[in-house]
Amino acid sequence: MLSLSDEHKGHLTPLFGQPPQLLQDFCRLAVDFLRRGPNLKLYTTAAQKLQVDVNVIQLAVEGLVQLMVKSRQNNLSTSDFRDLVLTSGFNEEQERILNELHDSNKADVDLALTTFMPSLLHYHDLEWRFDVQVASRSLLKQTIPAVTIKLTLKEIPQVEEETKYKHLLLETDPNNLKHLIQKLDEALLEASSQHSRRLQRIFK
């Protein structure tokens, strides 16, 4: 049977034993997270009402989202989801609320999984060549630099399958290559941000 990690349970602990209306409010925040991302303004308001740190609220919301994601990833039945929720620390009444959350938002979870799950293609190798055209029949004096890139990607194999490779041949000029490097650097910086790390933890 699927079980939650101690860290995950710790994020959900503030919700254990809470009134049904409060848990429903957190469920709405979890659905809003799936559709629009985190809403720090709402988390701050909730933290002030409950007199807790805003990080407690955010982790509880993310814990609910992670609960829904894990349930879909493991294709849990209604009874399996019930067992998971009850053994994690929620009571019977809370389980009914969470089961409704689970059943009514499967499409949102599936869309989020499609959006945030990493691609099956991963970097394997790269070869490059720098060429310069210095003359042509119409122009005897010219300088046209070009960079030819052979990019090899590999597909993570399923059980007992061979690794598959995909080769891409690309050609660009130095200015476009410089722009591409800049965008990749920005993407790597964003991937290391706190928000991205939170998403990676939820959807891993």
Provide block-wise average pLDDT over 10 residues at a time, the chain (204 residues): 85 92 94 88 92 94 91 86 92 94 86 65 86 74 85 69 82 89 83 61 58
| Pairing mode of beta strands 164-172, 144-155 | antiparallel
Per the listing, tokens 């609910």 go with: 64
Q: Could you write out the DSSP letters of every residue in 130-150?
A: EEEE---SS-SS--EEEEEEE
Asked if residue 192 and residue 163 are part of one domain, the reply reads: no
Does 1 reside within a domain? no
Number of domains in the chain: 3
Asked if residue 100 and residue 165 are part of one domain, the reply reads: no
Using CA atoms, how far residue 191 sits from 25, 117, 176, in Å, is: 30, 13, 22
pLDDT at 193: 65
Residue 73: CB atoms within 10 A of its CB come to 14
Domain with 185 in it: 174-203
Residues in the chain: 204
